[in-house]
Amino acid sequence: MLALTAKALYTPLEKIERPLVLVDEGSVLKITSQVASETPPRCRLRDFGDCTLAPGFVDMHTHGAAGYDLMGDDPDGQNAINTFLARHGVTSYFPTTVTAPMDKTLAALDHLAEAIESAKDASKGQAQPLGIHIEGPFLSHTRRGMHPPEHLQRPTLAAFEKLWQAARGHIRVMTIAPELDGALEVIAEATKRGVFVSMGHSDADLDQARRGVTAGARHATHTFNAMRPLDHREPGIIAEVLTNPRISAEIIVDGIHVHPSVVALIAKAKGVEGTVLVTDATAATGMPDGKYQLGWVEIEVKDGMCLHDGTLAGSVLTLDRAVRNVMNFASWDLQRAVRAAGLNPAKAAGARTKGSLEIGADADLVALDVNGEVKATIAKGVIVQ
């Protein structure tokens, strides 16, 4: 058995001073404070000193890292990504596809399903892929960003079923533009199957966005990016996202995708319950400037910006940096920031054993210093430095 202690712990809803977390077989057995109980005999104690422990981060929107794209089929890729993410405090994530030729998409979904199934028992000490986020092909031509127009599709139940089968039911998040013909039917069907439906890459006006929510959509993909802009007389989808408490909102807090003051605006509107930090990271994350793949599209990375044809195409953000940035941009404390990077995405996507430190939860933790820097990650009870 392993016992973990530090200066403090965020569950994240509660704060425990001098916590004592007992870990057995990769799960949390007990959480108390050192004042209340002693370390059991024959238990290995690890003291993280002045650090604060929090649930391991959960990235709902990531395309790759460490030189590898998650749609690729390089056998080393998955391992490299899982190791890289764990070093940045991420203990679980939702590999995210981009719009691509249908046969390539189906092949990628098959690989990702395989990765998810094999990681179930074997992901100790690494980040675990939990389910697939499909970003495309049901996106708006007007707001497609880097998604290749020739492969965008009109949403149909038949096309959705094809993707679902290829992914062997592992689709957990779907980005879709609710204004497209057929979208509402696909949103309703996906929701019925337990998919967390996110509105994004969308030119929806206010009514179209509201109809999306009525059909089952509960989330917004990278709020403000690839969306009809907010106008005070033509409010559109962003007004619905910011004002409807049933919708949670992703933000890419790299200081490039959304201006820091608008990050503060979203954080204020959605509050600590409704804000979800994501990276939208690409293969270029953790790598030098240069050319990388994002799905079947080439991107060029320079000075922290990923571009395709002059359009922003993903990021090189890591979730630990997003946590530090949101503290700066929105004047949030660490407790709020870690909640938006862990509990909120886990809850949204229905990952019951993730995002919250409680008895029976997976022993996924991150040890952060006062500046929010990752000092260690614990993934299913295995400590990664």
First to last CA, the chain: 19
- Residue 129's SS3 state is strand
Binding mask 134-163 for Zn ion (x = CB under 5 A): -x----------------------------
- Least Å distance, CB 188 to Zn ion, is 24
**C-alpha span between 12 and 295 (Å, rounded):** 34
Binding span for Zn ion by CB under 5 A among 128-136, 204-212, 235-243, 331-339? 128-136
Binding span for Zn ion by CB under 5 A among 180-188, 207-215, 262-270, 274-282? 274-282
- Least Å distance, CB 96 to Zn ion, is 5
Look up residue 21 and give its amino acid.
V
Cβ partners under 8 Å of residue 268, min gap 6: 330
Return the ∠ at Cα 41 (arms to 40 and 43), rounded to 5°: 75
User: Which one from 203, 280, 320, 364 is the annotated catalytic residue?
Assistant: 280
- Least Å distance, CB 126 to Zn ion, is 22
Does the footprint of Zn ion cover residue 59 (CB under 5 A)?
no
**C-alpha span between 204 and 297 (Å, rounded):** 26
Q: Are the CB atoms for 91 and 377 separated by under 8 Å?
A: yes
- Residue 361's SS3 state is coil
- Least Å distance, CB 198 to Zn ion, is 11
- Least Å distance, CB 97 to Zn ion, is 9
Q: Which is nearer to Zn ion, 173 or 327 (CB)?
A: 173
Work out the number of other CB atoms within 10 angstroms of the CB of residue 24.
13
Q: Which is nearer to Zn ion, 135 or 254 (CB)?
A: 135
254, 280, 362, 364: which one contacts Zn ion (CB under 5 A)? 280
59 catalytic per annotation: no
Return the ∠ at Cα 55 (arms to 54 and 56), rounded to 5°: 110
Positions marked catalytic:
280
Q: Which residues bind Zn ion (CB under 5 A)?
A: 135, 280
